[in-house]
Chains A and B, each alone.
Chain A
Amino acid sequence: MRTWKLLLPLLALAGLIGIIASCAQMKTVPGIPASHPETLAIGQQVSCAECHEDQQKGTMKAFNAFSHTRSFVKNHRFYAASDDRLCATCHKSSFCADCHTNKAEMKPSTRYGERPDREFQHRGNFITLHKIEGKLDPASCYRCHGRANNDRCVACHR
């Protein structure tokens, strides 16, 4: 216990020095641009590889790590969790909030009926299917409806 009492101030001091040293170095740490250099039109099909072909042009991650392939769109939760700053260079927060919100008033597939090509969840007759899908993979329900956006759930699930 005595050793800890001696060590704690030393560790705190070391931590403080570390923080001060880090802050002094902050100006040398580069940042990604606040927004994408070129505005992309809604629905525009682009080949990101045209500019992000290799890492020599300044991208920290390999192009494959953020290329919007179909598997990327389907599994975007992984990428957003580790680097949503990169998402924010092109997408405004409202793009995410269309689906991921505390209260979703309208199914995204209804709201964007003109975009059937987007991989929206709960398309069509999901009110029947959710009784199967919820038993199959409850974790997929919980991620969006466990702690938020469950107004409609609580109406029936009493």
Chain B
Amino acid sequence: MKIACCTLLCAASLLAFPAGILAADVSIDSSTYFGFARKDVTGAVKETLLPATQFLGLTVAGLGDGNLSLHLYGWGRTDLGDKSSSKAVSNDIASFNSDKSTGSLSYGYLQYRFNQANATVRGGRFSIHEGIANELVDGVSVRTDLPLGFGLSAFGGATVHTAKIYGENSDGKGDFLSGGRLNYRYGGLLEIGLSGVYETAAPKLVTRTAANYRRVGGDLWLTPVKAVDIIGHSSYNPETKQFADHSYLITFKPYQKLNLTGEFNQQRDQSFLYAWTMFSSSALNPNDKSTSYGGSASYEVSKNVEAAADYKHYSRERGTAERFGGDVRLNFQENSVRGGIGYHYLNAASGFAIGTNPSASYHELRCYVMHDTKGLFSAIDLLGNRFKEKIYNETNAWETTATLGYHITPTLALSGDVGYGRNPQFTEEVKGLLRVTYNFIGGKK
């Protein structure tokens, strides 16, 4: 991992090259962050965190016959102060899955895009979003449209493993993953898809229940009339022989300024969370269900003002809850000044509360203002929560962040954040961040 970190940091030195010598179809995203945080954690020593993090993305298009492209993105971080990773609660956990220097390759793949039929072939590390399959693999994927409105995709490769679970020698995932999707589209009216994902057998675990990750499902997109859009999916877990989830959204836009939505989600807890090894979810009661439904409305009052309201009802074995609220967004001076203010209330039963609290309800208020000019940009963000019942003896939590930045060139910007907050978890939190971003887009356009 340290090698990956060093590689990324070294690659950041590409910034030293003037953009002009780079090939025409190269684009680079580079963001360097120097962070500062002082945390006063309840029941633990104060921490001073000084992480230096480099995110780097590189895209090289137009290789070979012009249809081949290379895509790389990753990050590396080193701590100049206390360890920053996994320090959520106390020093006790810092020794697990954390290091003072680390990094990750988010994706890195070669892609060949054919001129017809949206056909692509990918090889390397990449994300898959195909129907119910939403995975990261080290492997190969192919996809193409077919005549008569059909389409086909398939992928396969090694599972990208993540952090080992405490007390175990693995993350609970199998080593090979494959899947695909077959879809049919009828013009701009309908698309239906059948998809599946299959992972080889989960490893045996010491203290947890191992569970194989396998899922099949179908997805739907339907526009019966121009103003109505229905989209969603259902999935089935062949391991539990039950439906895992249903998730559907309907959007109704009677005219340009008004947008109405309705949603319905239902999960069989055991079947949907089956392979969530961290919680041994395969051992959950197979009859437990989570259901939520709700709706939202947004209305463009004028060119400068948009108002929205939303409601959602939650139902689980442990109780019911509802969340409702709304917000207003404003913009002035041709979008150079933007702002928003919003309020939501979660009314939740004791079953959702922290510890033995009699209620999990809380109010949330948020407001922000942004100002952009050709050179300077700035923002202030304020977020506050008020709990119906005290949490760790605190009634309120709040955080405010102010940002000021300057575009040194159209591609290079320097900015900084300062933030202060108080909440039940960290009685006091002071944060600072220095950010250098470089976005160079080459190309023949």
Interface residues of A (CB under 8 A from B): 22, 25-32, 34-35, 39, 42-43, 45, 49, 55, 59-62, 64-65, 69-72, 74-75, 77-85, 92-94, 96-97, 100-103, 105-106, 110-111, 113-117, 123-125, 127-129, 131-132, 135-139, 142-143, 146-158
Q: A60-B187, A152-B85 are in contact. Are A137 and B314 (CB under 8 A)?
A: yes
CA of A154 to CA of B173 in the docked complex: distance in angstroms?
A: 14
Q: A65-B223, A135-B318 are in contact. Are A26 and B249 (CB under 8 A)?
A: no
**Interchain CB contact under 8 A, A113 and B403:** yes
Query: Using Cβ atoms and an 8 Å threshold, which residues of chain A touch B120?
Result: 85
Query: Using Cβ atoms and an 8 Å threshold, which residues of chain A touch B160?
Result: 102, 148
Name the one of A29, A59, A78 contacting B231, with C-beta atoms under 8 angstroms: A78
Say if the beta carbon of B48 comes within 8 Å of chain A.
no
**Interchain CB contact under 8 A, B290 and A138:** yes
Nearest A residue to B368 via CB reads A116
Shortest A137–chain B CB gap in Å is 6
Q: A82-B231, A150-B162 are in contact. Are A94 and B29 (CB under 8 A)?
A: yes
CA of A105 to CA of B385 in the docked complex: distance in angstroms?
A: 25
Complex interface residues of chain B between 19 and 75 (CB less than 8 A to chain A):
27, 29, 31, 33, 53, 55, 57, 59, 61, 71, 73, 75
Shortest B138–chain A CB gap in Å is 11
**Interchain CB contact under 8 A, A148 and B259:** no
Name the one of A22, A111, A124, A148 contacting B421, with C-beta atoms under 8 angstroms: A124
Q: A75-B263, A94-B73, A132-B352 are in contact. Are A152 and B86 (CB under 8 A)?
A: yes
CA of A131 to CA of B89 in the docked complex: distance in angstroms?
A: 13
Please give the number of chain B residues whose Cβ is less than 8 angstroms from any Cβ of chain A in the complex.
142
**Interchain CB contact under 8 A, A81 and B331:** no
Name the one of B232, B275, B338 contacting A147, with C-beta atoms under 8 angstroms: B275
CA of A149 to CA of B114 in the docked complex: distance in angstroms?
A: 32
**Interchain CB contact under 8 A, A81 and B129:** yes
Q: A149-B162, A154-B164, A155-B93 are in contact. Are A71 and B119 (CB under 8 A)?
A: no
Q: List 28 A-B contacts (CB under 8 A).
A: A25-B146, A27-B116, A31-B116, A49-B256, A62-B188, A64-B226, A64-B227, A69-B298, A70-B308, A71-B251, A74-B296, A77-B134, A78-B232, A85-B120, A92-B57, A93-B127, A102-B136, A113-B415, A114-B378, A125-B425, A127-B426, A128-B354, A128-B424, A136-B314, A136-B348, A146-B276, A150-B162, A154-B163
CA of A116 to CA of B339 in the docked complex: distance in angstroms?
A: 9
**Interchain CB contact under 8 A, B97 and A132:** no
Beyond the given A62-B226, A117-B338, A124-B383, could you list 20 further A-B residue pairs with CB under 8 A, ordered by the A residue number? A26-B119, A29-B147, A31-B117, A35-B445, A60-B187, A75-B231, A82-B191, A102-B104, A103-B162, A105-B55, A113-B419, A114-B370, A124-B385, A128-B354, A132-B354, A139-B245, A149-B162, A152-B86, A155-B98, A156-B89
Nearest B residue to A67 via CB reads B253
Name the one of A43, A83, A105, A148 contacting B372, with C-beta atoms under 8 angstroms: A43
CA of A139 to CA of B385 in the docked complex: distance in angstroms?
A: 23
Q: A29-B145, A136-B352 are in contact. Are A151 and B163 (CB under 8 A)?
A: yes
Shortest B82–chain A CB gap in Å is 15
Query: Using Cβ atoms and an 8 Å threshold, which residues of chain A touch B85?
Result: 151-152
